Amino acid sequence: MKSIEQQITKEIQRTGEETIFFTEDFMQHGTPDAVRIALFRLVNKNIITRLARGVYAKPGYSRLLNKETVPGVEAIVKAIAQRDRAKIIPTGVYALNALGLSTQVPMNFVFLTDGTPRKLKIGKATITFKRTVPKNLSYKNELCMLVVQALKEIGNGKVTEQEKEKVIKLLKQVDYKELKHDIALAPQWIAEIMAKAIP
């Protein structure tokens, strides 16, 4: 009979680099305490990396940087959303950065969700999940969601002509029906900017 640690190791070895795991992924191998101890040992053996409480990853390796790599914030957030079957929307500086409206690299990431509100510390970064109303999660198009959150971050009356042009250019790629649907959900001043992308 293999030990819990050996069973978990074998399962991890079958996955690719930078695969994200949660403690509950291994509960079939033993009690919660036994699984946590096994994961703690695997972290010490450098088989996995602890990203946050209950969140782990199989390290990757960058030949260019000659060092181990771990998944980025986006991959971690997507994995949490899939696990919780929750919808998640980026906000603030992260939304601006994702659209190319800012070169500032955020250290505090805030996401709106219909899942459990929580805060994670990953390295120097903080990820916060804030519970929000269903309307904010009803957008059909991901780009439209990002645009609304990015423009909210800039603020009404503070969006430059250059920023408007960039947003309109991006929105012109969105399916007409989805764009029309999402404009109806946006605050009035943002809807007016988005409407300029309608052909």
- What pLDDT, in 10s, does the model give residues 89-100? 999 999 999 999
Give the separation between CA 115 and CA 112, rounded to whole angstroms. 9
Give the separation between CA 121 and CA 33, rounded to whole angstroms. 22
In this prediction, residue 104 carries a pLDDT of 85
CATH number belonging to the domain at 4-68, selected among 1.10.3470, 1.10.10, 1.10.1610, 1.10.150: 1.10.10
pTM of the model: 0.83
Say if residue 28's pLDDT is above 90.
Answer: yes
Say if residue 1's pLDDT is above 60.
Answer: no
In this prediction, residue 189 carries a pLDDT of 97
Task: Give the mean pLDDT of 29-44.
Answer: 96
Instruction: Return the domain boundaries, the chain.
Output: 4-68, 84-197
62 CB neighbour count, 10 Å cutoff: 10
State how far Cα 191 lies from the chain centre.
25
Question: What would the pLDDT profile of 107-136 be if each residue is shown by its tens digit?
Answer: 899 999 999 999 999 888 899 999 999 999
- State residue 135 phi and psi, 5-degree precision: -55, -40
In this prediction, residue 163 carries a pLDDT of 96
Helix axes 142-154, 161-171, angle to 10 degrees: 170
Question: What would the pLDDT profile of 48-85 be if each residue is shown by its tens digit?
Answer: 999 999 999 999 998 888 888 999 888 999 999 999 99
In this prediction, residue 7 carries a pLDDT of 95
Give the separation between CA 186 and CA 177, rounded to whole angstroms. 15
The CA angle 56-57-61, to the nearest 5 degrees, is 150
